[in-house]
Structure 1
Amino acid sequence: MSLKSFAARLLAYKVHRDTQKWAQNPVATQQNVFRQLIAQAQQTAFGKDHHFDTIHSHADFVKQVPIRDYEQLKPYVDRVVQGEEHVLWKGKPLYFAKTSGTTSGAKYIPLTKESMPFHIQAARNAILSYIHETGKADFVDGKMIFLQGSPELESKNGIQLGRLSGIVAHYVPKYLQRNRLPSWETNCIDDWETKVDAIVQETMTQNMTVISGIPSWVQMYFEKLVQVSGKPVGTLFPHFNLFIYGGVNYEPYRAKFEQLMGREVDSIELFPASEGFFAYQDSQTEKGMLLLLNSGIFYEFVKADEFFTPNPIRYTIGEVELGVNYVLLLSTNAGLWAYNIGDTVQFTSLQPYRVIVSGRLKHFISAFGEHVIGKEVEEALRQAVEGTSVRINEFTVAPQITPQEGLPYHEWLIEFEQLPDNLNEFALKIDHAMRQQNVYYDDLIAGNVLRTVVITPVAPNGFQAYMKSIGKLGGQNKLPRLSNDRTIADQLPLL
């Protein structure tokens, strides 16, 4: 055992013990976070506009601070971007995390002196939690890679801005610098395909032990490694034993990954975003990710099926239930207030509080009132693939409202690595799993409003070609699993 791995085990025990203190007192922990946030923001422009000096309870907060998404918060953000101080949070942010916007172009999410450490701490604690549970720490002596955006930053009115993953790259601890790949120069390459080629050349002769990134883009890296080396990734990197991912569900990619790796590898799921680091997988045996209740974020939850009703109930951590689809709201020490991040979650455990990401509020299909969500399609596909040789690279689902003949249907556009023996039987398996999960969808099929699922195979690398065509190949960009229209479906190259 090396000195570094021994130290990692000691630190893992300490972090586990500290985590248990707040995880076992969730309501009191969140109340304390709430009080601190309100107190620290009283003298900001937002705090004055919303009379934070009179907020003494969550009920007061609900009355005085409405739910907002980025577009609704943008007038305040614009003032911060223009260099004004004490707008959403005291002083100025350290950074803006620049992300893709919707109607207003780029979004600028503030990162403050108070919020930034939690992004770093949570990623570290996820790994330490794994070490504590499994006792495995030898990987800290090998090379680690995180497929990310460029660490080069711009400046806007004295505040640095860039992609979150690029900003975080500046905070890698010194003791990990020697272990970390790729090089700074390679990370700065903008073109994703060129970047992946460079990463392959840098890493294929190294002792890689930890690989991290969004599954779809790690898959592209793995495919290049296999192509260049002629070996499975697990053979090329015999000590590679930990895959860390976030952003999308790993399950649809698992069979393909294991084929590329040639063996199974432990994994840790993360739930990070520019707005905060919300949860990480703290157990290899329990479902869900530990919700981080002591990280400068006060959470509220609105039932997804009530979200668009007037004055929906905003629940706090002590009021949530298992298995309910909630819209996640945040108030943070970066100056976001009752902020709708757009993600939906479900609780898998209340002792401690663990969540899964069930989808995106804007990514759903409800062309006929079925309100199908991401979790449902991913689970249906998992069930259909289980026990077969079928391997899938990528997929998305869209409604076909005006077919040339017959009833409307849900079209599943799938890029197969290994096709099913019988595509129609595979489609029926998916359809059955969907009907089991979603009563509204089941009623539509039973009532002959919809026909069963139709699968359309997508051409090899078709999703990569689509993402490249819209300028979103690689980095932290993710393909929507669901669309309520055919914007994506009608642009994909078919087999």
Structure 2
Amino acid sequence: MGFRSALSKPFAKYIVNDQKKWSLDAINTQHKILKSLVSKAKHTQFGKDHHFADIETYEDFKSAVPVADYEGLKDYVEKIKQGDSDILWPGKPEYFAKTSGTTSGTKYIPITKDSIPNHINSARNALLTYVHNSGQSQFLDKSLIFLSGSPIMTKTAGIHTGRLSGIVNHHVPGYLRSNQMPSYETNCIEDWETKLDAIVEETLTKDMSLISGIPPWVQMYFDRITAKTGKAIKDVFPDFSLFVYGGVNFEPYRGKLFESIGKTIDSVETYPASEGFIAYQDTLDQKGLLLLLNSGIFFEFIPADQYFDDNPPRLSIGEVELGVNYALIINSNAGLWGYSIGDTIEFVSKDPYRILVTGRIKHFISAFGEHVIGQEVEKAMNHALAQHPEAEIVEFTVAPQVTPESGLPRHQWFIEFDQPPADFNSFKSTLDKKLTELNSYYEDLIVGSILEELEIVPLQKNAFINYMKSQGKLGGQNKVPRLSNDRKIADELMNFRY
């Protein structure tokens, strides 16, 4: 046993014991965090504008601080970009995490000295929690790969600016640096395909034990290795034992990924975002991710079906219910206030508080009043794949077809199959039937002959890779939206259909 694996076990025990303490005292933990955040920020520009000095209760806070997306905080961010201090949080941010917004263009999300531990320690604790629960730690002594964006930084008003994954790369603990892959030089390659080829060359001779990344990009890495060697991943990396992922629902990718590996291995799901590290998997056998209530973020929750109302309810952790779809709002020591990150979640446990990510608040299909959400299309797809186990998919997305050349309007499912179903029509009907079970509005539209059964548009091999390449978004942390209410993506994907 190496020194990393040996030292990890007592540290893991300490982390898990601490985790149990705050997770079982969640309401009080969140109350303390809100009080601390408001106190520290009361002399900032935002704190003065919103009367933080007068806030004593959560009700006071809700009255003083509106819910906003990036546009609502953009004026404050612009002041920071002009060189001003004490705007959203005391001092200046250490970094800007640069990310693309769907409506705001490029977003500059502040990361402060106080918020860096949320990103770094949470990723560490996810691994240590796995070590404690599984008893497995030998993987820490071998090579680890984190498929991520470039760590190269630019400067904005003297503030280091780059992708979140690149920023985090600068804070990898020293004890992991010596066995971290890829090399810094390779990680700095901007073109994803060139970078991927370099990563393959660097890692083929290494004893890889942990691989981390967004599932579709990890699958691309595996495909390159298999094409080069003619071997399953388990035969190239016999000690590969842990897959760490986040950013998308793993289930649609699970079958093909494990087939590429050649065996089933353990996996750990995480929920990192530029705005903060939200949650991670803390058990081996229970559903949901532990919401990180003791990591510098005060969470609020708005019922998703009321999010666009004029005055929607805002709930704290003690007011949430199981099985309700909530829009996630954060207030953090990065200087984000009443910030809607755009994700929706639901609670599957309140003892401790565990969540599932259900989709994006603005990613839905309601062209006909059905309001189908990401969680529903993913559940339908997972059901269809379970009923047709021979079928394997690479990626899919869904869009409305309002004006078809013939027939009634319908939903179009753009699917890249690695292995198509044996009975295509049965697969399609299974998908459609499951969606009607999950969404009563969709069922009413089908029964009422407003919509007809969904249509599957099979796509060429590498269709999504080529689409992402055409948009300049190949690799890294970029993801294809699971569904959208317009035809922007759909019309582009029509160029890649069979």
**TM interval, short-chain normalised:** over 0.9
TM-score normalised by length of structure 2: 0.98
Query: Does structure 2 conserve the Cα–Cα contact (< 8 Å) formed by 1:363 and 1:373?
Result: yes
- Find the counterpart in structure 2 of residue 252 from structure 1: 252
Q: How far does residue 140 in structure 1 lie from its aligned partner after superposition?
A: 0.6
- Find the counterpart in structure 2 of residue 135 from structure 1: 135
- Find the counterpart in structure 2 of residue 198 from structure 1: 198
Q: How far does residue 15 in structure 1 lie from its aligned partner after superposition?
A: 0.3
Inter-partner Cα distance in structure 2 for 1:69 and 1:452? 36
Q: How far does residue 157 in structure 1 lie from its aligned partner after superposition?
A: 1.1
- Find the counterpart in structure 1 of residue 426 from structure 2: 425
- Find the counterpart in structure 1 of residue 233 from structure 2: 233
Inter-partner Cα distance in structure 2 for 1:104 and 1:212? 29
Inter-partner Cα distance in structure 1 for 2:58 and 2:299? 11
Q: How far does residue 448 in structure 1 lie from its aligned partner after superposition?
A: 1.3
Inter-partner Cα distance in structure 1 for 2:465 and 2:243? 22
- Find the counterpart in structure 2 of residue 390 from structure 1: 391
- Find the counterpart in structure 2 of residue 37 from structure 1: 37
**3-state secondary structure, aligned to 2:108:** strand
> Which amino acid in structure 1 is aligned with residue 41 of structure 2?
A
- Find the counterpart in structure 1 of residue 270 from structure 2: 270
Is 1:467 paired with 2:483? Answer: no
> Which amino acid in structure 1 is aligned with residue 471 of structure 2?
I
Q: How far does residue 276 in structure 1 lie from its aligned partner after superposition?
A: 0.3
Inter-partner Cα distance in structure 2 for 1:392 and 1:42? 51
TM-score normalised by length of structure 1: 0.99
**3-state secondary structure, aligned to 1:234:** helix
**3-state secondary structure, aligned to 1:414:** strand
Q: Deviations over 1:189-238 (max 9, x none)?
A: 00000000000000011100000001111111010010011101111111
Q: Deviations over 1:264-322 (max 9, x none)?
A: 11111110011000000111201110000000000000000001111100010001011
Q: Deviations over 1:366-395 (max 9, x none)?
A: 111111111111111111011511010000
Inter-partner Cα distance in structure 2 for 1:397 and 1:160? 37
Q: Deviations over 1:5-29 (max 9, x none)?
A: 1211111100000101100100000
Inter-partner Cα distance in structure 1 for 2:342 and 2:264? 33
Q: How far does residue 404 in structure 1 lie from its aligned partner after superposition?
A: 1.2
Q: How far does residue 102 in structure 1 lie from its aligned partner after superposition?
A: 3.1
- Find the counterpart in structure 2 of residue 19 from structure 1: 19
- Find the counterpart in structure 1 of residue 165 from structure 2: 165
Worse-superposed segment, 442-451 or 213-222: 442-451
Is 1:156 paired with 2:156? Answer: yes
Q: How far does residue 94 in structure 1 lie from its aligned partner after superposition?
A: 0.3
- Find the counterpart in structure 1 of residue 209 from structure 2: 209
Q: How far does residue 444 in structure 1 lie from its aligned partner after superposition?
A: 1.1
Query: Does structure 2 conserve the Cα–Cα contact (< 8 Å) formed by 1:151 and 1:167?
Result: yes
> Which amino acid in structure 2 is aligned with residue 449 of structure 1?
I
- Find the counterpart in structure 2 of residue 99 from structure 1: 99
> Which amino acid in structure 1 is aligned with residue 450 of structure 2?
V
Inter-partner Cα distance in structure 1 for 2:295 and 2:4? 27
- Find the counterpart in structure 1 of residue 113 from structure 2: 113
Provide runs of 4+ in structure 1 moved above 3 Å.
none
Inter-partner Cα distance in structure 2 for 1:453 and 1:43? 55
Query: Does structure 2 conserve the Cα–Cα contact (< 8 Å) formed by 1:342 and 1:361?
Result: yes
**3-state secondary structure, aligned to 1:386:** helix
Query: Does structure 2 conserve the Cα–Cα contact (< 8 Å) formed by 1:149 and 1:165?
Result: yes
Structure 2 residue ranges without an equivalent (≥5): none
> Which amino acid in structure 2 is aligned with residue 403 of structure 1?
P
> Which amino acid in structure 2 is aligned with residue 494 of structure 1?
R
**3-state secondary structure, aligned to 1:378:** helix
- Find the counterpart in structure 2 of residue 49 from structure 1: 49
> Which amino acid in structure 1 is aligned with residue 285 of structure 2?
T
- Find the counterpart in structure 2 of residue 188 from structure 1: 188
Is 1:283 paired with 2:286? Answer: no
Query: Does structure 1 conserve the Cα–Cα contact (< 8 Å) formed by 2:4 and 2:175?
Result: no
Q: Deviations over 1:397-447 (max 9, x none)?
A: 000111111111111000000011121110111111111111111111111
- Find the counterpart in structure 1 of residue 482 from structure 2: 481
Inter-partner Cα distance in structure 2 for 1:347 and 1:362? 20
Q: Deviations over 1:224-266 (max 9, x none)?
A: 0100111011111111010000100110001110111111111
- Find the counterpart in structure 2 of residue 323 from structure 1: 323
- Find the counterpart in structure 2 of residue 401 from structure 1: 402
Inter-partner Cα distance in structure 2 for 1:405 and 1:398? 17
Inter-partner Cα distance in structure 1 for 2:268 and 2:75? 37
Worse-superposed segment, 292-301 or 450-459: 450-459
Query: Does structure 2 conserve the Cα–Cα contact (< 8 Å) formed by 1:414 and 1:455?
Result: yes
Query: Does structure 2 conserve the Cα–Cα contact (< 8 Å) formed by 1:192 and 1:474?
Result: yes
Inter-partner Cα distance in structure 2 for 1:431 and 1:354? 30
Query: Does structure 1 conserve the Cα–Cα contact (< 8 Å) formed by 2:98 and 2:163?
Result: yes
Inter-partner Cα distance in structure 2 for 1:370 and 1:182? 45
- Find the counterpart in structure 2 of residue 221 from structure 1: 221
Inter-partner Cα distance in structure 2 for 1:437 and 1:352? 27
- Find the counterpart in structure 2 of residue 494 from structure 1: 497
Q: How far does residue 105 in structure 1 lie from its aligned partner after superposition?
A: 2.3
Query: Does structure 1 conserve the Cα–Cα contact (< 8 Å) formed by 2:219 and 2:257?
Result: yes
**3-state secondary structure, aligned to 2:234:** helix
Q: How far does residue 3 in structure 1 lie from its aligned partner after superposition?
A: 3.0
> Which amino acid in structure 1 is aligned with residue 65 of structure 2?
V
Query: Does structure 2 conserve the Cα–Cα contact (< 8 Å) formed by 1:423 and 1:455?
Result: no
Query: Does structure 2 conserve the Cα–Cα contact (< 8 Å) formed by 1:209 and 1:240?
Result: yes
Inter-partner Cα distance in structure 1 for 2:142 and 2:93? 35
Query: Does structure 2 conserve the Cα–Cα contact (< 8 Å) formed by 1:245 and 1:268?
Result: yes
Q: How far does residue 81 in structure 1 lie from its aligned partner after superposition?
A: 1.1
Inter-partner Cα distance in structure 1 for 2:3 and 2:220? 35
Structure 1 residue ranges without an equivalent (≥5): none
Inter-partner Cα distance in structure 2 for 1:52 and 1:40? 10
**3-state secondary structure, aligned to 1:100:** strand
Inter-partner Cα distance in structure 2 for 1:61 and 1:4? 44
Trace 1:293-308 onto structure 2 (pairs within 5 A): 293-308=293-308
**3-state secondary structure, aligned to 1:176:** helix
Q: How far does residue 104 in structure 1 lie from its aligned partner after superposition?
A: 3.7
> Which amino acid in structure 1 is aligned with residue 40 of structure 2?
Q
**3-state secondary structure, aligned to 1:406:** coil
Q: How far does residue 332 in structure 1 lie from its aligned partner after superposition?
A: 0.4
Inter-partner Cα distance in structure 2 for 1:323 and 1:439? 17
